[in-house]
Amino acid sequence: MTEKWAIDTELGEVLQKNEEQLIDQIAAASSAGVRLQDQGGKPLALRDAHPKAHGCVLAEFRVEDQLPPHLAQGVFVPGKSYPAWIRFSNGFPDAKQPDAKPDVRGMAIKLLGVPGDKVLPEERDAQTQDFILISHPVFFADDVADYLTFTRLMGSGQKLRAVFALGIRGAWNLIKSVSRPASPLEIRYWSMVPYRLGDPPHKQAIKFSVTPCRPATARPSHPQSDFLRETMKKQLEAGEARFDFLVQPRTSTMSVERSLVEWKENQAPFFKVATITIPRQLFSTPERDSFGEQLSFTPWHSLPQHRPLGAVNRIRRVVYDTIAKRRHELNKTPRHEPDANDAEAARAELRKLMSS
């Protein structure tokens, strides 16, 4: 077995039948949908999922000053802070879909200046750590064959058949995952799928979540097509936004492979490990939008202590990489993971924003 398909049996990972071949087919089907599209008079290849960005913002990710040893693992070094880029988005493949439509909302976090070898061999020296979150606690599939069928049907425009192909629980999870928020800064996000946290003797399986510190506001009675971006723009022109970053250690009865099943909080509580502060800033510029489009997010931009777990994450490893390569190739832009110089520039800009 190659390093690419190595699994953590100690934390309960199990490969599915023909998984490697099926995932390669999922990647091929997903990549087929990535093509140049007209975006305001300019051809641009967008992401196959979460193509519509509300904005890419600069933030501070600050770990709690005190944490118990089993949580003070990986990037969660007590008292440490990291600059971070955060991309808020809609999940539907059509980037022109109005924000008022029910949709899955995404929050992708990229920490900068993270030392240590990373999981991906080709990015071993990268200095980033990504956390990918969605506005729903569970995923809509955990069977690789079902996911392939769903991807192919969606790609051929058979959306209703695609939903039913997920089975009753999967279809229900997908339907329940859509939301109609008033602002991306006012909703809760979840990892949906599990991750490793730490090294022995503290190695464990966890999920994570991000909760907003500001109360939810009412949606506009007649929202415009891009009102989520406009609302976020007004809020960050007026002041900062904050989120609590939480970790949920599993109990012994919870599986890392069953992504359809929620880990109930009353059985496995969340613990706060960090605060995300998005300072007052102007992010809605062509330069920032272009920068956000060039960033690539994947849960596999990761330290081993935060290694993704389960079939859905193994799918993501191949699909995200395939899509990123295809997108950058079509856009004729080199892939670049932020390095030490980028981290220092982000820290300087963050200090300026937080002192103003």
- Spans in the chain with pLDDT lower than 50: 1
Query: Which DSSP letter does residue 243 get?
Result: E
Distance between CA 331 and CA 338 in Å, rounded? Answer: 19
Q: Write the CA distances from 79 to 66, 207, 275, 302, 342, integer angstroms.
A: 7, 22, 11, 20, 22
CB count, 10 Å around CB of 161? Answer: 14
Ramachandran region, residue 30 (left: φ > 0; alpha: ψ -120 to 50; beta: rest):
alpha
Residue 138: its pLDDT value, please?
Answer: 96
Residues in CB range of 338: below 8 A, 6 or more apart = 85, 110, 112, 127, 128, 346
The reported pTM is 0.95
> Which amino acid belongs to residue 36?
L
Q: Which residue has the tokens 């058949």?
A: 161
Q: Which of 206, 216, 149, 142 is nearest to 173 (CA)?
A: 142
Q: Which of 295, 328, 323, 333 is nearest to 32 (CA)?
A: 323
- HEC profile for 4-56? HHCCCHHHCCCCCCCHHHHHHHHHHHHHCCCCEEEECCEEEECCCCCCEEEEE
pLDDT tens profile 33-56: 787 777 777 788 888 888 899 999
The CATH fold assigned to 3-355 is Catalase HpII,  Chain A, domain 1 (2.40.180)
Does residue 299 have a cis bond before it (omega within 30 degrees)? no
CB 290 within 8 A of CB 171: no
Residue 1: its pLDDT value, please?
Answer: 42
Strand partners, 112: 128
Residues in CB range of 157: below 8 A, 6 or more apart = none
What does the domain layout of the chain look like in residue ranges? 3-355
Q: What are phi and psi of 283, to 5 degrees?
A: -110, -15
Q: Taking each helix axis from N to C terminus, what angle separates 144-155 and 19-31, rounded to the nearest 10 degrees?
A: 20
> DSSP of 159-183, one letter per residue?
HHHHHHTTHHHHHHHHHHH-B--S-
Distance between CA 189 and CA 233 in Å, rounded? Answer: 20
> Which amino acid belongs to residue 107?
M
